[in-house]
Structure 1
Amino acid sequence: MTTSTTAARKAFVPVRRSGNLLFVSGQLPLAGGELVATGIVGATVTVDQAREAAEACANNCLAVVEAELGSLENVDFVVKLNGYVASASDFTAQAAVMDAASDVVLARLGDAGEHARLAIGVASLPLGAAVEVEMIVAVKAG
């Protein structure tokens, strides 16, 4: 049963702030309104295609941060990236896929982009996406 109160409420938001931390919801590899890669890495998606998808996810995470803060200059540092790779059962190169997302963050934020990271394989992701990335960011005081 849906009430008017629950119907008006969003299931989730793109970013949530708690103190000086921003928690960015998982971002899919969307570019120009289309998914960069769909399918299972190691089966229907190559590592190179998955890396391109991870780059798009990282850029989308940073776009959410920039929209929230007004500028990436307000980022103190990236705490952590969590990466989910839709993987064939014998695929074990999730870290190589997520290296592409890490590279984007480091290139765009410099030293502030250094982060802890999780890279795991999953059976499937929303909309059939090959990769999803979420991010935790510390915001500069002031």
Structure 2
Amino acid sequence: MTIHRRLKELDLDLPPAPKPAASYVTVVEASHLIFVSGQGPLVGADPVCTGRIGETLTLEDGYRAARLSAMNALAALDAEIGLDRVMRIVKLTGWVSSAPDFYFQHRVVDGASDLLIALFGENGLHTRCALGVHVLPFNIPVEIELVAALKPETAGEES
């Protein structure tokens, strides 16, 4: 089953691929790995929510923001190489802008992890780091970065 078919089954549509907001590229392929720059809960260039989890936003708000951030990362991957070239998700890093007394960053980042597992199955299981930070660009509550492995028959080819 293709990832696009799985997205349809889950009633999800990939957003347009995000554009860099500063001096960097969104996706870089190196050998058999592909790296996706940090993505936030944006629609186009606009944040869908702002603020800190545990302060102005709830854990549930953060979970949804992490899920949308992961959708944006997938949209960037799809635009650059196509999702069917992805063999597995290797690593996810999630930064959560959170109140000083909020200790559930890992539950917020589950919004991204749960989506990847739902789409890629066992190949969506990944290593992960969930970090609490004071503030993120544009005052977004979550930023997600991905590393994925490419299928062997396409590893190392230039896009």
Q: Confirm or deny a common fold (TM above 0.5).
A: yes
The equivalent of 1:76 in structure 2 is 87
Could you tell me how far apart the structure 2 residues matched to 1:36 and 1:52 are? 10
Q: Which ranges of 4 or more aligned residues in structure 1 deviate by more than 4 Å?
A: none
Q: 1:103-118, aligned counterparts within 5 Å?
A: 103-118=114-129
The equivalent of 1:52 in structure 2 is 64
Q: Which has the larger radius of gyration?
A: 1
**CA distance 1:14–1:32, change in 2 (3 Å):** closer
**Structure 1 stretch 10-19 or stretch 127-136: which is displaced more?**
10-19
Deviations 1:25-71 (A, max 9, x none): 0001113543122101110111111111000001111111111212x
- Report the aligned-residue RMSD: 1.2
Could you tell me how far apart the structure 1 residues matched to 2:75 and 2:131 are? 23
Compute the TM-score of the two structures, normalised by the length of structure 2. 0.79
SS of residue in 2 equivalent to 1:37: coil
SS of residue in 2 equivalent to 1:118: strand
Q: Does residue 124 of the first structure (1) align with residue 135 of the second (2)?
A: yes
The equivalent of 1:13 in structure 2 is 25
* One-letter amino acid of the counterpart of residue 125, structure 1: L
Q: 1:21-100, aligned counterparts within 5 Å?
A: 21-31=33-43, 33-70=45-82, 72-100=83-111
Deviation at 1:100, TM superposition (A): 1.1
Q: Is the 8 A contact 1:36 1:56 kept in 2?
A: no
* One-letter amino acid of the counterpart of residue 68, structure 1: E
Deviation at 1:81, TM superposition (A): 0.3
Compute the TM-score of the two structures, normalised by the length of structure 1. 0.88
Structure 2: 5+ residue runs without aligned partners? 1-21, 154-159
* One-letter amino acid of the counterpart of residue 40, structure 1: R
* One-letter amino acid of the counterpart of residue 35, structure 1: P
Percent identity, aligned pairs only, is 44
Structure 1: 5+ residue runs without aligned partners? 1-9
Deviation at 1:141, TM superposition (A): 1.7
Q: Is the 8 A contact 1:83 1:119 kept in 2?
A: yes
**Structure 1 stretch 99-108 or stretch 26-35: which is displaced more?**
26-35
